Amino acid sequence: MLPVRRIVVALLWALLMGPALLAQPSGIPDERVLYAHTFKHQPAAEAVEIVRPLLSKRGTVELQPGDNTLVVRDTAAHIKRIAPVLQSYDHPPLPLDLEIFIVKASRSSATPPVRRSGLPEPITRRLREMLPFDIYDIRARAYLASSEGQAVTYGMGKEFEVSFRMGTLVDDGRVRLTDFQVARRLSAGGTRPLIHTTLNLWLDQPMSLGFARSESSREALMVVLSLKRGDARKVQR
């Protein structure tokens, strides 16, 4: 075991200097060591879920929100894998563009069925592979130039409003949208939420969410989202 004084001194040094290994292994293979990373650019809270799958059975991760720090305790071998993941995650905010469609999907009553869509062809093709609808009419559309960590509230025409907080792009191309909400604007004022959830989006992989009274309904309201990398020159420094 390391002396308490040595651990405390190392911790203070890490908080001053940024990411640091706080305790070195003594040569025992399974001995746990302590590693702390103080984030400069990204929220430490969102990195907790990235670290957990990388821990051993004896590993732990602790969030210190006051100074935006994660403290990880695990074997030296696991720390060696975790440290570069956190360093890669802690990058300056990247630009991300999100395109959102609100669509009325319906089944054609004509024979043969009428097939029509206002959506881009790749999205239309994918929806038709998954869903039994022939017609996709766009009710509202938004193209949002955002960036990691940004909170967004946007009116989509007169009928709908969307809000969310953009998460951080991780190495597998995934971004989490927290507090994602689509609401319908009411004629008397205010809004009525249609959906309120957390989403994981992948770059260049459209996601669709549908609302229908039952599985056999001939109509549904859909939200289609498509995420892409933005133009780094547009990010405000």
DSSP secondary structure letters along 122-162: HHHHHHHHHS--SEEEEEEEEEEEEETT-EEEEEETTTEEE
Instruction: Say what the pLDDT of residue 111 is.
Output: 85
Q: Which residues of the chain have pLDDT under 70?
A: 1-29, 232-237
Retrieve residue 163's tokens.
Answer: 């809000």
pLDDT at 234: 56
Cβ neighbour number for residue 66 with a 10 Å cutoff: 6
First to last CA, the chain: 45
Helix axes 76-89, 44-51, angle to 10 degrees: 140
Closest CA to 93 of 175, 172, 19: 175
The greatest distance separating any two alpha carbons of the chain, rounded to the nearest whole angstrom, comes to: 81
At residue 22, the pLDDT reads 52
Domains and CATH numbers, the chain: 4-89 (3.30.1370.120), 95-234 (no CATH)
Q: pLDDT at position 25, please? A: 53
pLDDT at residue 9, rounded to an integer: 40
* pLDDT at residue 112, rounded to an integer: 87
Q: Phi/psi class of residue 233: alpha, beta or left (left: φ > 0; alpha: ψ in -120 to 50)?
A: alpha
Q: Determine the pLDDT at residue 99.
A: 96
Report pLDDT for 24.
52
Asked if 212 and 223 touch (Cβ cutoff 8 Å), the reply is no
For residue 18, what pLDDT is reported? Answer: 47
Task: Give the separation between CA 46 and CA 125, rounded to whole angstroms.
Answer: 34
Question: In the structure, how many helices (H) and strands (E) does the chain have?
Answer: 4, 13
The pLDDT tens digits for 4-55 are 444 444 444 444 444 444 555 555 667 899 999 999 999 999 899 899 999 9
pTM more than 0.85: no
Helix H or strand E segment including 212: none
